[in-house]
Amino acid sequence: MSSRWKKVWADFWSNRGRTFLTIMTIMVGTFAVGFNSNMGAYMMESMDGDYLCEPV
């Protein structure tokens, strides 16, 4: 393993709390982007269905 990767590993290991928080932040952000994207698609589909529905 090169000295660069040894340093990277040592930095990750010595700052475990910060590494964990960074990984959690990336996971939450990815979830939020996916959730908003899917919710937007669902709302568009729902609004189209409501608009095209004939009154009773």
pLDDT digits (tens, 9 = 90+) for 18-31: 999 999 999 999 99
Is residue 56 pLDDT above 80, yes or no?
Answer: no
18-45 residues labelled b (16+ CB within 10 A) or e (exposed): eeeeeeeeeeeeeeeeeeeeeeeeeeee
Contact of 19 with 12, CB cutoff 8 Å: yes
Is residue 53 pLDDT above 90, yes or no?
Answer: no
Round the average pLDDT of the chain to a whole number and report it.
88
So what's the pLDDT on residue 11?
86
* Averaged pLDDT for residues 15-19: 90
What is the spatial distance between Cα 25 and Cα 27, in angstroms, rounded to a whole number?
5
What is the spatial distance between Cα 37 and Cα 13, in angstroms, rounded to a whole number?
35
Predicted TM-score of the model (pTM): 0.62
